[in-house]
């Protein structure tokens, strides 16, 4: 596949991948445990996420950023490598299904009540399937084109929150016990800071690999700091008590904003940015799954998998977690451990490869 990506295109996808899976839900899931210090939990999750990804990228760099799926085969052998690759593919598709479900839940509960979630799921998956069929390069170019508008909408929305911001809602600072702050960080560590390891499947396409690790970590830092600032502002606007009782507190805060008594429903700007970000994230997960299947089947193209993957993701989004409560409970209690298990497995494989000097062998071996 003759695909070349710039470092700017890659970091833009990293930032979108991080922010827009969490920006509407992050305040609530951190505040439930850490209360008014929820922003501190987000910063702690960012620091731990950076340390985990720094270790991962340090080991990945030893192999000079090859195809993730080929690397698993090279280190672990054909049979174990195939099992690990299948697991990575499943995680990518499961994440895509969870994001699709999150999108439809949001549309039904906050935007168009009483509508059927399948409408949004099917329309989203059709758009994602079409984008995935165009290839890796096209989706990164599309994200590059949309990224300035997404940033403008997001930053503009956050600035408007300052009108109702009150430091009183954040006091007393650092009052929450450390264990509860860590519990708030634990939830957001997997969602989204460990998920980001999936984007390493695209490192092989980045044209200039010098300082690529710094680029990757910089994108994570920018995304994580944006989430921390968002949590800080939302708590200062509504207070920890109200934030903890809403599913999408960021959207709820924006809905109450009036701009010069003329412009209302400003929250739609954030909703548009969020939907565009989720579109990029779902498509990236799609592409990771298809690249993995292409590698396993030794095929010259992954397009034959688009429709089967689309149907599978739609089915997973509706049947793995049949109720919204079940979905939310799984995300808040098990998602971080679930992703940390995959992280540890890949780290173990990379470490074994380094100990066995596999990183010094040509990629064909």
pLDDT on residue 272: 82
pTM confidence score: 0.93
pLDDT on residue 259: 59
pLDDT on residue 2: 66
- For residue 155, the tally of other CB atoms under 10 A from its CB is 13
Provide the token pair at 327: 């979905």
Measured torsion, CA atoms of residues 59, 61, 65, 67, in degrees rounded to the nearest 10: -10
pLDDT on residue 266: 65
pLDDT on residue 320: 82
Contacts of 50 (CB under 8 A, 6+ apart): 193, 217, 220, 221, 224
Q: What are the per-10-residue average pLDDT scores of the chain (365 residues)?
A: 84 93 86 91 96 95 92 91 96 95 88 89 95 92 91 83 83 87 92 93 90 93 94 90 86 71 63 88 95 92 92 92 78 91 96 84 52
pLDDT digits 0-9 by tens, 294-352:
999 998 888 899 999 999 999 999 888 777 778 778 888 899 999 999 999 999 999 99
pLDDT on residue 329: 82
Cis peptide bond upstream of 258, omega within 30 = no
List the Cα angle 6/158/121 in 5-degree steps: 65
Residue with tokens 């809602």: 169
For 176, half-sphere exposure in the C-beta direction (CA atoms, 13 angstrom radius) is 24
pLDDT on residue 300: 86
State the alpha helices, DSSP H only, in the chain: 7-19, 26-34, 38-61, 68-76, 78-106, 117-134, 136-161, 178-188, 212-238, 240-243, 249-255, 267-297, 306-319, 324-333, 335-355
**CATH-assigned architecture of domain 7-351:** Up-down Bundle (1.20)
pLDDT on residue 365: 41
């Amino acid at each position: 596949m003759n695909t070349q990506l710039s470092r700017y295109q890659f970091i833009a996808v990293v930032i979108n991948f991080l922010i827009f899976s969490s920006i509407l839900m992050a305040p609530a899931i951190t505040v439930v445990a850490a209360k008014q210090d929820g922003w501190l939990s987000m910063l702690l999750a960012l620091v731990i996420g950076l340390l985990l990804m720094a270790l991962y990228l340090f080991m990945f760099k030893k192999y000079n950023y090859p195809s993730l799926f080929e690397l698993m085969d090279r280190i672990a052998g054909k049979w174990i490598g195939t099992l690990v690759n299948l697991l990575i593919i499943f995680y990518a598709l499961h994440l895509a299904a969870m994001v699709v479900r999150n999108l439809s839940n949001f549309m039904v509960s906050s935007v168009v009540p009483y509508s059927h979630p399948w409408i949004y799921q099917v329309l989203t998956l059709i758009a994602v399937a079409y984008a995935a069929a165009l290839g890796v390069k096209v989706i990164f170019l599309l994200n590059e084109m949309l990224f300035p508008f997404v940033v403008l909408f997001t930053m503009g929305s956050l600035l408007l929150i300052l009108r109702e911001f009150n430091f009183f809602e954040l006091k007393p600072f650092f009052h929450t016990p450390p264990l509860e702050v860590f519990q708030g960080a634990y939830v957001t560590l997997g969602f989204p800071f460990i998920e980001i390891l999936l984007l390493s499947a695209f490192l092989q396409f980045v044209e200039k690999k010098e300082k690529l690790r710094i680029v990757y970590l910089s994108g994570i830092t920018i995304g994580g700091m944006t989430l921390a600032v968002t949590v800080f502002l939302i708590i200062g606007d509504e207070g920890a008590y109200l934030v903890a009782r809403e599913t999408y507190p960021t959207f709820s805060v924006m809905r109450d904003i009036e701009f010069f008594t003329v412009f209302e429903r400003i929250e739609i700007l954030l909703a548009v940015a969020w939907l565009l970000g989720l579109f990029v994230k779902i498509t990236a997960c799609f592409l990771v799954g298809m690249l993995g299947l292409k590698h396993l089947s030794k095929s010259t193209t992954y397009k034959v998998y688009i429709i089967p993957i689309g149907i599978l993701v739609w089915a997973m989004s509706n049947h793995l977690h049949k109720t919204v409560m079940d979905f939310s409970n799984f995300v808040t209690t098990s998602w971080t451990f679930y992703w940390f298990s995959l992280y540890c497995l890949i780290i173990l494989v990379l470490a074994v490869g380094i100990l066995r000097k596999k990183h010094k062998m040509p990629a064909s071996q």
